[in-house]
Chains A and B, each alone.
Chain A
Amino acid sequence: MGPGLRASESFFPQGVPRPIISAMTEFMAARSQMAMSLGFHIIFASIGVAMPFLMATSHYLFLKTGNPVHRHLTQAWSKGVAIFFAVGAVSGTLLSFELGLLWPGFMEHAGAIIGMPFSWEGTAFFLEAIALGLFLYGWDRLSPWVHWSCGLIVGLSGVASALFVICANGWMNSPAGFDWNGGNPINIDPVAAMFNEAAALQGIHMVVGAFEAVGFAVAGVHGWLYLGRPRPIHLSALKIALTFGAIAAILQPLVGDLSAKSVARRQPIKLAAMEGHFNTQTHAPLIVGGIPDEDERVTNWAIHLPGFLSFLAFGRFDAEVKGLNDFPRELWPPVAVTHFAFQIMVGLGTVLMLVGLLFLILTKWRPGWISDRRFLWLVVGCTPLGFVAIEAGWVVTEVGRQPWIIYGVMKTADALTPRPGIQWTFALYTALYLILSLVSGFLLWRQTLLLHRELEGEE
């Protein structure tokens, strides 16, 4: 008994012209659906991870100073948290089913081996949901510091659940805790599976990335609102958000470097694709930008920095870095996509690091310049960059792992559900996510209107 059956009846009767949507293969539709579900969820989940800390900071400032601006800010931000958390929670529920709906071949085996981090994530998420209910509705029912700590617990549980669930993705990249035994896994060790080699760095990289993206996005939104009308609440908000964002943006290249070194060791073909590196060599050049040509096996229009790939990947200029040519063509991931995504992520990460450094320098030596219009416009310009970097980073790690769903063990194509017509469910999910994104965005805009109305009422 297993997922081997394919219903052989064609989805469309003979002779009926097939719409363009079904030109997409089942496999591509499934991959696209999964990518879209994850891409959507990660935005809302990142907000759920980082935003509570921003909120707790503002709340702390209110409790310590009694400044009503911070109370307004905490309450405005908590509404944002509530909206995003709800959407993130239901999209996460969707994902827990989708793993099986799209990839039963994978879940048949992976479910048991890597289920443990999911169960811990479930616990953390449960605590988060409880703490959020207490925080959002407990203003008048809980004592002030108990109430504040509920907000903090939302954040801590969020971080914990992110770290747990990423253990599962880490396992897909760095399988551990089982002997594959030709498709009948034995000697399953759930603890070894959970604490696989990729888990810790991937988890930290994601959590820091969440703070970076959310910090800059929230700062950008408030910067924009401040430029519209210089209310003190928006400047306070910007400063809190950008502090988190800047610190994260400065830490992230360090974490990223450690991550890349880990990938170089464990998944050399992914590293080669990320870097657009075709020829195995010592003193390998770092390839910045450029367009990989998979047929000619060369990356054109790039800047080559001699020796730096070897140095970054292994810490020595004379280290050998494997190129794509060393691997069978059918095991190559999509090189161009992986390379572009990687360049985008690093490029944006660099920009955010520089803006973050600038902010911290200004805070120390020229605090008045933070409300200067030119700086504010710079911050506004950075609003989406952190999230684009997150999406790019996930493309790197997921597309870069192809054709494997469990690296070196199971191919993605072998995990696919036999159910035909995935193109249609892909269309359905796309429509759903589009609607939800539009409505949440719309809601947030209206929340700012509500906030301004409230503030006006008190002026």
Chain B
Amino acid sequence: MTSAILLFLFIALLFYLVFGGADFGAGMVESTLGKSSVDLRARQLISRAIAPVWEANHVWLVLLVVIVFMGFPTVYTTVSIYLHLPVIALLMGIVLRGCAFTFRHYDQLDDRFFEFYGAVFRLSSYWAPFFLGVIASALPTGAIQPEEERFWAVYVAPWLTLHGFATGAFVCSLCGFVASVFLVGESNEADIRHLFSRRALGFLAVMVGLGGVTFLTAWLSGFPLPTEFMNSLFSVASFVLATVLLVPFVRTLQGQQPKRARPWAVGIVGAILVGWCGAFFPVAVRLGNGQTLDWYSTAAPPPVQMALLVALLVGSLLIFPALVFLMRTFKS
């Protein structure tokens, strides 16, 4: 039963990375655009593409949080205490991004405000996924120190690390990558497609580089991530899969129907996520004092898990058709 819940958790995380990530990435892509006529058309396409779907895209995070606090409350409270500060930073980014986008969309009287909202929107589009990465980086590394007494050591040091920043930047590039791929398929015009597919490949290259930096910084700081990754057959296989998927991905991206690149891109992201999780599964949080919180031992009692699973199953039956309808209405 716990495994079934963990599967839902994984799916929610993957969908948040893909859909919510595409949203964040759209703001990043927008920040790479200038004022030339093709760039202006691209900007309009971005707004049009995310407007109907961004709200729905971000609900995955709420779902994620609810599964964790209902199914694994100790994990939720541990993160809430020790990673309080980067969580606040993440939330500020999410709030500002959503509001700035909406305000920009509806307040069409004056260019000065338009520019201001746009700037907040683009900045927060980097800020939020960055801190997602920072938070994720601190979980498996054993950087959290419950035995420490000083404020800095308990509440700042675990996440304010090179590895944290590298992971944050990596998540940013991943979001930019996903967004660019989706945006290619949103247009029928060759110059716009070319613009976005160049960015997709650019973000992909940055992502690969930052992936390496993430491992390097982990190794330099003595975090177990690289060794665990190498020792896990699952992770190595996922890494190989992600690399292999690059071939059909690039081919479809540059082909006649770039929409076909989307499933490959999602596959690559999925493989990366499986690889990262698989390295230390079933550990959820590793603490500096040697204690580990693993998913199975921190799971809520069986009646609660059952209730959660039922809610997730019924919810899926309601949500998936609705989501498909939404995407079909606006994306075809």
Residues of A near any B CB (own CB < 8 A): 1-3, 5, 7-9, 11, 79, 82-83, 85-87, 89-94, 96-97, 99-101, 104-105, 107-113, 115-116, 118-120, 122-123, 125-127, 129-134, 136-138, 141-142, 186, 188-191, 417-421, 425, 428, 432, 436, 439, 443, 446-447, 449-450
Interface with A: B77-85, B203-211, B239-247, B248-256, which one? Answer: B77-85
Cβ contacts A to B, 20 pairs, < 8 Å: A1-B287, A2-B77, A3-B81, A7-B151, A83-B106, A90-B98, A94-B94, A96-B69, A111-B73, A115-B73, A120-B315, A122-B66, A127-B318, A129-B56, A133-B52, A134-B52, A142-B329, A188-B300, A188-B304, A443-B106
Does B95 have its Cβ within 8 Å of any Cβ on chain A?
yes
Q: Are A85 and B308 in contact (CB under 8 A)?
A: no
Q: Are B311 and A120 in contact (CB under 8 A)?
A: yes
Q: Are B81 and A126 in contact (CB under 8 A)?
A: no
Q: A5-B146, A108-B77 are in contact. Are A101 and B88 (CB under 8 A)?
A: yes
| Complex contacts, A96 vs chain B, CB 8 Å | 62, 65-66, 69
Q: Are B84 and A119 in contact (CB under 8 A)?
A: no
Q: Are A130 and B56 in contact (CB under 8 A)?
A: yes
Q: A123-B311, A425-B88 are in contact. Are A11 and B151 (CB under 8 A)?
A: yes
Q: Are B63 and A126 in contact (CB under 8 A)?
A: yes
Choice from B63, B80, B323, B330 contacting A100 with Cβ under 8 Å: B80
Choice from B91, B153, B315 contacting A94 with Cβ under 8 Å: B91
| Complex contacts, B276 vs chain A, CB 8 Å | none
Determine how close the nearest CB of chain B comes to the CB of A170; give it in whole angstroms: 17
| Complex contacts, B91 vs chain A, CB 8 Å | 93-94, 97
Q: Are A137 and B58 in contact (CB under 8 A)?
A: no
Determine how close the nearest CB of chain B comes to the CB of A93; give it in whole angstroms: 6
Choice from B79, B99, B303, B314 contacting A436 with Cβ under 8 Å: B99
Does B32 have its Cβ within 8 Å of any Cβ on chain A?
no
Q: A79-B106, A137-B51 are in contact. Are A104 and B80 (CB under 8 A)?
A: yes
Q: A123-B318, A126-B59 are in contact. Are A9 and B150 (CB under 8 A)?
A: yes
Does B103 have its Cβ within 8 Å of any Cβ on chain A?
yes
Determine the distance from Cα of A275 to Cα of B117 in the docked complex, in whole angstroms.
Answer: 47
Determine the distance from Cα of A86 to Cα of B18 in the docked complex, in whole angstroms.
Answer: 20
Determine the distance from Cα of A190 to Cα of B73 in the docked complex, in whole angstroms.
Answer: 14
**Closest partner residue, chain A, to B150 (CB atom):** A9
Chain B contact residues, majority secondary structure = helix
Interface string of B161-198 (1 = CB under 8 A from A): 00000000000000000000000000000000000000
Determine the distance from Cα of A430 to Cα of B332 in the docked complex, in whole angstroms.
Answer: 43
Q: Are A112 and B146 in contact (CB under 8 A)?
A: no
**Closest partner residue, chain A, to B299 (CB atom):** A112
Does B102 have its Cβ within 8 Å of any Cβ on chain A?
yes
**Closest partner residue, chain A, to B302 (CB atom):** A188
Does B44 have its Cβ within 8 Å of any Cβ on chain A?
no
Interface string of B53-80 (1 = CB under 8 A from A): 1011011011101110111011011111
Q: A90-B98, A112-B70, A133-B326 are in contact. Are A107 and B312 (CB under 8 A)?
A: no
Interface string of B292-314 (1 = CB under 8 A from A): 01000000110110011001101
Determine the distance from Cα of A189 to Cα of B306 in the docked complex, in whole angstroms.
Answer: 10
**Closest partner residue, chain A, to B79 (CB atom):** A100
Determine the distance from Cα of A214 to Cα of B249 in the docked complex, in whole angstroms.
Answer: 50
User: What 8 pairs between A and B have smallest CB-CB spacing?
Assistant: A115-B70, A100-B80, A111-B73, A112-B300, A86-B102, A123-B315, A104-B77, A190-B307
Does B148 have its Cβ within 8 Å of any Cβ on chain A?
yes
Determine the distance from Cα of A450 to Cα of B109 in the docked complex, in whole angstroms.
Answer: 7
Q: Are A419 and B62 in contact (CB under 8 A)?
A: no
Q: A112-B73, A129-B56, A439-B103 are in contact. Are A428 and B88 (CB under 8 A)?
A: yes
Choice from A115, A419, A449 contacting B71 with Cβ under 8 Å: A115
Determine the distance from Cα of A97 to Cα of B86 in the docked complex, in whole angstroms.
Answer: 12
Q: Are B73 and A123 in contact (CB under 8 A)?
A: no
Determine the distance from Cα of A449 to Cα of B148 in the docked complex, in whole angstroms.
Answer: 57
Determine how close the nearest CB of chain B comes to the CB of A9; give it in whole angstroms: 5
Q: Are B98 and A89 in contact (CB under 8 A)?
A: yes
Determine the distance from Cα of A439 to Cα of B94 in the docked complex, in whole angstroms.
Answer: 17
Q: A1-B146, A439-B99 are in contact. Are A420 and B151 (CB under 8 A)?
A: yes
For A118, A417, A432, A449, the residue with the greatest tally of chain B CB atoms inside 10 Å of its CB is A118
Q: A83-B103, A86-B102, A190-B304 are in contact. Are A432 and B150 (CB under 8 A)?
A: no
Q: Are B301 and A188 in contact (CB under 8 A)?
A: yes
Does B155 have its Cβ within 8 Å of any Cβ on chain A?
yes
Q: Are A111 and B69 in contact (CB under 8 A)?
A: yes
Q: Are A85 and B55 in contact (CB under 8 A)?
A: yes
Determine how close the nearest CB of chain B comes to the CB of A419; give it in whole angstroms: 5
| Complex contacts, B287 vs chain A, CB 8 Å | 1
**Closest partner residue, chain B, to A8 (CB atom):** B149
**Closest partner residue, chain A, to B308 (CB atom):** A119
Determine the distance from Cα of A324 to Cα of B108 in the docked complex, in whole angstroms.
Answer: 56
Q: Are B70 and A116 in contact (CB under 8 A)?
A: yes
For B76, B148, B304, the residue with the greatest tally of chain A CB atoms inside 10 Å of its CB is B304
Determine the distance from Cα of A123 to Cα of B84 in the docked complex, in whole angstroms.
Answer: 26
Q: Are B149 and A87 in contact (CB under 8 A)?
A: no
Q: A108-B77, A136-B52 are in contact. Are A87 and B102 (CB under 8 A)?
A: yes
Determine the distance from Cα of A1 to Cα of B73 in the docked complex, in whole angstroms.
Answer: 12
| Complex contacts, B71 vs chain A, CB 8 Å | 112, 115
Q: Are B329 and A134 in contact (CB under 8 A)?
A: yes
